[in-house]
Chain A
Amino acid sequence: MGLQSKDLLGLKQLTADEIMEILDTAKMMKMVLTSGNKKTSHLQGKSVVTLFYENSTRTRLSFELASKYMGSASANISTSGSSVNKGESLLDTARTIDMMATDIIIMRHSQSGAPHYLAPRVKASIVNAGDGMNEHPTQALLDMFTLYEKYGHLDGLKVAICGDLYHSRVVRSNVIGLTKLGSTVSVAGPRTMVPIGLEKMGCTVCRSVSEAVRDADAVMGLRVQLERQQKSLFPSVAEYARFYSISEDVLKLAKPDAYLLHPGPCNHGVELPTSVYDCPQSVINEQVTNGVAVRMAVLYLLMARRNQE
């Protein structure tokens, strides 16, 4: 068992068995995380660098804490305050990090495929922490882990994902991962934000948020990525909130015990109202904890593979 590739580029590249191994490993890591002593030695003597070309709070911090809890030397580079601002190319920057005996580079980049481009060009393992509109594999893994923990299985679950599907790397990774493990995924959003051929990735594209949410075991809101908006895809925030948000009424269409997820950060009152954000069905805050556990699992499994070589 273990992971086949030196890198974690996306859920496209993982088998169902590999995903399950990550989720099962995350269970153990969550026990470590929630115990009094958060120290393990899995990454002792190893180094992890986060290289973020885009803003991040939870992804970056959870990776950093995950690596620290496991005993690695870790460092952060962001585009401001590094030679990236002097115009250094992605490849030169990554090679520089690589040549400092770095074991794992965790990267976020605005361009789809940037980690795929780097992976064969460096010795370090590349972990994709979000690439453009392509994938955000550890987010999907933590979403799946959250449901796996709640239901004990993913097979047969109906998951609804609603919002800006076009720009969302979260929806792509979730559709790929969830369907690999036997869940069905329904998606909905403004038609201007539904990329052509999305259904070919294995999900059902619905005409409305209500239709997608009906009888779902889990409902996931997606952030409206205002910063990625190149042109107006909906007329106003007010109209978006009226027709596309996961309101209390919409959430009632799901199964009574359905869980509500959101990858964060949330635009309150846009993709969902604060009352829904804070409702008993919401597991949004638990997702954050699970994010650390899942990232610990990913780092552990990648390092285990490196140690075998």
Chain B
Amino acid sequence: MKRIEIQNATHFSTNEKITLYIENGVFVDALSEKADEVIDAEGLTVMPGLVDMHCHLREPGFEYREDIKTGTLSAAKGGFSSVCCMPNTKPVCDNAAVVEGILRKAELVGSANVFPIGAASKGLEGKEIAEMGLMKEAGIVAVSDDGKPIATANLLKKVLEYASDFDLPVLNHCEDLTIGEGAMNDGAVATSLGLRGIPAIAEEIMISRDILTAEYLDMPIHICHVSTARGIDLIRQAKKRGVKVTCETCPHYFSLTEDKCVNYDSNFKMNPPLRTEADRKAVIEGLKDGTIDCIVTDHAPHHVDEKDIEFSLANNGIIGFETAFAVGYTYLVKPGYLTLTEMVEKMTINPSKILRLGRGTLDRGVPADLTLVDLKQEFVYTKEEILSKSTNSPYIGESLQGRVKVTITGGKITYDELR
């Protein structure tokens, strides 16, 4: 493994010029021999390699959308060293064999650390709890039925209880499907467009259920991709009274609103849907006051044939690895809502702590995951530069600021725009 020296980098938090040394894949105080590679990071900011606790790599089963090789390349381009992939693959990641398959493939062709998330229920069917213990031995870091909610309060209670035996965090996609059938946010815009709406209460009702269940059991729960003002407030109040609840949001929920759907462009269609301007502001407020712990991508590649069709028929989801940092920097740090340190924490150490990944720092002795970013560089995101297999991004043609230049994961350069 190469000995790497990174000179003249500006530390994301202290703002000091630092030199970093990497040997045997970990950060060290000094190199034992001359560096094999010296990176001059003059003008660049160094931060821990980003950690995405919510993405879809689509392998096995949906390789026509994305696979572990292209997904992790796309992640590396976005500055991510670690990605946690959701279990809605085919077959579903609900047993140790699939977990092992994902990890082996990532080892062979991956450009990022891949941490699989196992299904909470067998086949994501919301009936019986999955083999969490065996999956944990194989390497999962959490359980979730993402894409779907954990179907019933009864199942949620069992999942929380059983997962606690294995110290597995439980992540839930909160949506009451009995009231949540639709193509975009419910409200005046959906009515005007003649589209069925998913009301905010579909999300909020289930967030309430989850908070109350976690509180009753005194066990932790993590709420996926929160998007509504009241949902965030429910979590804020729960945190205040000591409920072990954490949550995440995605860049699109603090940068875009439902108004983007007016042209029936399915690159603005995801679940939860883009909400109102008031919700967008509430997401920013939740990030500011710490209610929202993490920023995740929910990277969800879909083939053009599943997206470039009638809006209501198009699949939910957008890709997000390659734009997450820049969208965060442009919409949160530049306007002064968050400091760079606060934003980076929500994309590194916070998710790492929730899932106990042991990543997300530049400390000596830890695996050398880092990202070098040019915070001043403005760029227009283009379809041509996308490394994901899919191009379903709402940010194509958007001007963003804060460009990832180099990503290093475990001492290996996984993305390099300097050369």
B-binding residues in A (CB < 8 A) = 12, 89-91, 109, 111-114, 116-117, 131-135, 169, 172, 195-198, 200-201, 230
Cβ–Cβ contact B309 & A90, under 8 A: yes
Q: Is B312 an interface residue (CB 8 A)?
A: yes
Cβ–Cβ contact A197 & B191, under 8 A: yes
Closest chain-B Cβ to A86's Cβ sits at a distance in Å of 16
Q: Chain B 173-201, CB within 8 Å of chain A: the 1/0 string? A: 00000000100001111111111110100
CA A109 to CA B181, docked complex, whole Å: 20
In the assembled complex, which residues on chain B have CB atoms less than 8 Å from the CB atom of A134? 193-195
Cβ–Cβ contact B310 & A111, under 8 A: yes
Closest chain-A Cβ to B246's Cβ sits at a distance in Å of 31
A sample of 19 cross-chain residue pairs with beta-carbon separation below 8 angstroms, ordered by A number, consists of A89-B305, A89-B309, A90-B309, A90-B310, A91-B309, A111-B310, A111-B312, A112-B193, A113-B311, A114-B310, A116-B263, A133-B194, A134-B193, A135-B194, A195-B191, A196-B187, A197-B190, A197-B191, A198-B191
CA A89 to CA B310, docked complex, whole Å: 10
A-binding residues in B (CB < 8 A) = 181, 186-197, 199, 263-264, 305, 308-313
Cβ–Cβ contact A133 & B195, under 8 A: yes
Cβ–Cβ contact B309 & A116, under 8 A: no
Q: Which of B188, B305, B309, B311 contacts A112 (CB 8 A)?
A: B311
CA A91 to CA B187, docked complex, whole Å: 29
Q: Which of A117, A133, A172, A197 contacts B187 (CB 8 A)?
A: A197
In the assembled complex, which residues on chain B have CB atoms less than 8 Å from the CB atom of A198? 188, 191
In the assembled complex, which residues on chain B have CB atoms less than 8 Å from the CB atom of A196? 186-188, 190-191, 197, 199
Closest chain-B Cβ to A201's Cβ sits at a distance in Å of 6
Q: Which residue of B lies closest to A115 (CB)?
A: B264
In the assembled complex, which residues on chain B have CB atoms less than 8 Å from the CB atom of A89? 305, 309
Q: Which of A12, A113, A133 contacts B264 (CB 8 A)?
A: A113
Given A111-B312, A113-B310, are A169 and B191 neighbors across the interface (CB < 8 Å)?
no
Cβ–Cβ contact A117 & B309, under 8 A: yes
Closest chain-B Cβ to A116's Cβ sits at a distance in Å of 5
Cβ–Cβ contact A132 & B264, under 8 A: no
Q: Which residue of B lies closest to A200 (CB)?
A: B188
In the assembled complex, which residues on chain A have CB atoms less than 8 Å from the CB atom of B193? 112-113, 134
In the assembled complex, which residues on chain A have CB atoms less than 8 Å from the CB atom of B313? 111
In the assembled complex, which residues on chain A have CB atoms less than 8 Å from the CB atom of B188? 196-198, 200-201
CA A265 to CA B190, docked complex, whole Å: 26
In the assembled complex, which residues on chain B have CB atoms less than 8 Å from the CB atom of A112? 193-195, 264, 311-312
In the assembled complex, which residues on chain A have CB atoms less than 8 Å from the CB atom of B186? 196
Closest chain-A Cβ to B85's Cβ sits at a distance in Å of 30
In the assembled complex, which residues on chain A have CB atoms less than 8 Å from the CB atom of B189? 197
In the assembled complex, which residues on chain A have CB atoms less than 8 Å from the CB atom of B310? 90, 109, 111, 113-114, 117
Closest chain-A Cβ to B228's Cβ sits at a distance in Å of 15
Given A90-B309, A111-B312, A111-B313, are A117 and B192 neighbors across the interface (CB < 8 Å)?
no
Q: Given A113-B194, A132-B195, A196-B190, 15 other A-B contacts at CB below 8 A? A: A89-B305, A90-B309, A91-B309, A109-B310, A111-B311, A112-B194, A113-B311, A113-B312, A116-B263, A117-B311, A134-B194, A196-B187, A196-B188, A196-B197, A201-B192
CA A262 to CA B186, docked complex, whole Å: 28
In the assembled complex, which residues on chain B have CB atoms less than 8 Å from the CB atom of A111? 310-313
The 8 residue pairs across chains A and B that have the minimum distance between CB atoms:
A197-B188, A134-B194, A113-B264, A133-B194, A112-B194, A111-B310, A200-B188, A195-B191
Cβ–Cβ contact A131 & B308, under 8 A: no
Residue of B181, B187, B189, B194 with most chain A CB atoms under a 10 A cut-off: B194
Closest chain-B Cβ to A91's Cβ sits at a distance in Å of 7
CA A230 to CA B183, docked complex, whole Å: 15
Cβ–Cβ contact A200 & B309, under 8 A: no
CA A200 to CA B309, docked complex, whole Å: 28
Closest chain-B Cβ to A275's Cβ sits at a distance in Å of 33
Given A116-B263, A117-B264, are A172 and B309 neighbors across the interface (CB < 8 Å)?
no
Residue of A111, A113, A116 with most chain B CB atoms under a 10 A cut-off: A113
Q: Which of A91, A116, A200 contacts B192 (CB 8 A)?
A: A200
CA A113 to CA B194, docked complex, whole Å: 8
In the assembled complex, which residues on chain A have CB atoms less than 8 Å from the CB atom of B264? 112-113, 116-117
Q: Which residue of B lies closest to A166 (CB)?
A: B191
CA A246 to CA B331, docked complex, whole Å: 52
Q: Which residue of B lies closest to A116 (CB)?
A: B264
Closest chain-A Cβ to B266's Cβ sits at a distance in Å of 9
CA A169 to CA B188, docked complex, whole Å: 15
CA A169 to CA B192, docked complex, whole Å: 10
Closest chain-B Cβ to A171's Cβ sits at a distance in Å of 10
CA A187 to CA B277, docked complex, whole Å: 28
Residue of A90, A133, A135, A198 with most chain B CB atoms under a 10 A cut-off: A133
Closest chain-B Cβ to A144's Cβ sits at a distance in Å of 19
In the assembled complex, which residues on chain A have CB atoms less than 8 Å from the CB atom of B195? 112-113, 132-134
Cβ–Cβ contact A91 & B308, under 8 A: yes
In the assembled complex, which residues on chain A have CB atoms less than 8 Å from the CB atom of B196? 133
CA A89 to CA B304, docked complex, whole Å: 13
In the assembled complex, which residues on chain A have CB atoms less than 8 Å from the CB atom of B192? 12, 172, 197, 200-201
In the assembled complex, which residues on chain A have CB atoms less than 8 Å from the CB atom of B312? 111-113, 132
Q: Which residue of B lies closest to A176 (CB)?
A: B192
In the assembled complex, which residues on chain A have CB atoms less than 8 Å from the CB atom of B311? 111-113, 117
Given A113-B264, A117-B311, are A172 and B194 neighbors across the interface (CB < 8 Å)?
yes
In the assembled complex, which residues on chain B have CB atoms less than 8 Å from the CB atom of A114? 310
In the assembled complex, which residues on chain B have CB atoms less than 8 Å from the CB atom of A117? 264, 309-311
Cβ–Cβ contact A201 & B191, under 8 A: yes
CA A117 to CA B310, docked complex, whole Å: 7
In the assembled complex, which residues on chain B have CB atoms less than 8 Å from the CB atom of A230? 181
CA A1 to CA B305, docked complex, whole Å: 39
CA A172 to CA B308, docked complex, whole Å: 26
CA A112 to CA B264, docked complex, whole Å: 8
CA A196 to CA B184, docked complex, whole Å: 13
Closest chain-B Cβ to A45's Cβ sits at a distance in Å of 32
Cβ–Cβ contact A132 & B194, under 8 A: yes
In the assembled complex, which residues on chain A have CB atoms less than 8 Å from the CB atom of B187? 196-197
